Amino acid sequence: MKTSGSQKIKTGFFVLAALAVLCLTIFLIGKQKSLFTNTFSVYANFKNVAGLQSGNLVRFAGINVGTVRDITITNDSTVRVDIVLQTRIKPYIKSDSRASIASDGLMGDKLVQIGPGSDSAKLLKDNQVTGVDPMDMDKVMKKISNIATNAEVITSNLGDIVGKINAGKGSLGSLLNSDHFEKSIESTMSSANQTVQNIGKAAAGASDNMEAAKHSFLFKGYFKKKEKQRVQDSTRVADSLANVKGKKKG
């Protein structure tokens, strides 16, 4: 069976399309993995990589700048993570830069984040970046569970206490639900108001007595002496002010 010209053309187009898709895929993967850019390598040591895998992304200032090349266990307490970074960020990686493990979103893959370090620090020379161990989520969830349990117990106890008080149980409940206690409070407030009124009347009476004493022949001399002293003091102050003004004009 001979193949027609149209079938050959269709087959050729299909092969070309497949090759184009393959090249585009290789280009995108290579770009993401920094296969077509100049790179340099650094590494960081961690106690726990929290599920990080080879090939995961590395970010600097929120930008994808490299990938995790390899993860090896150095000893029972250290895991070495080798990282490939694009050369364009090399001037920004300082000797005090730190690498931390984070997640790409809430449920995304793990990735490595590298900080720029301080402005006064020197550039990285030994290719080792200080690793910051990720938070142990198991311990965090355990603490949250304990806090929730304690809060539940406290809420339950408070509910029992309020219920007993409303039911009039216990000393506090009997006191708050007692009619005698309410009447005692009202009586105390009434007595306080009466006391304030009596104080006001006493003050008014004292003012009247003072005014009457001024007109009494027994105290008339005393109040005249006080008034004379007040006038003398006022005159002395007025003379002093007049002298001061005269000196300024002179």
Q: What's the confidence (pLDDT) of residue 241?
A: 67
Q: Are 45 and 126 contacting, i.e. CB atoms less than 8 angstroms apart?
A: no
Tell me the pLDDT band of 51, cut-offs 50, 70 and 90. confident
pLDDT tens track for 232-247: 777 776 777 666 556 5
Q: What's the distance, CA 223 to chain centroid?
A: 69
pLDDT tens track for 130-158: 888 876 655 666 777 778 777 877 887 78
Q: Are 131 and 98 contacting, i.e. CB atoms less than 8 angstroms apart?
A: yes
Tell me which amino acid residue 95 is.
Answer: S
Distances (CA, A) of 29 to 15, 129, 166: 21, 26, 70
CA distance 52 to 81: 9
Residue with more model confidence, 193 or 46: 46
State the average pLDDT over residues 99-111.
82
Q: What is the DSSP letter of 123?
A: B
CA distance 245 to 132: 80
pLDDT tens track for 7-43: 767 777 777 787 778 777 766 665 555 555 678 888 9
Tell me the pLDDT band of 79, cut-offs 50, 70 and 90. very high
Q: Are 89 and 113 contacting, i.e. CB atoms less than 8 angstroms apart?
A: no
Q: What is the DSSP letter of 35?
A: S
Q: Are 45 and 33 contacting, i.e. CB atoms less than 8 angstroms apart?
A: no
CA distance 216 to 208: 13
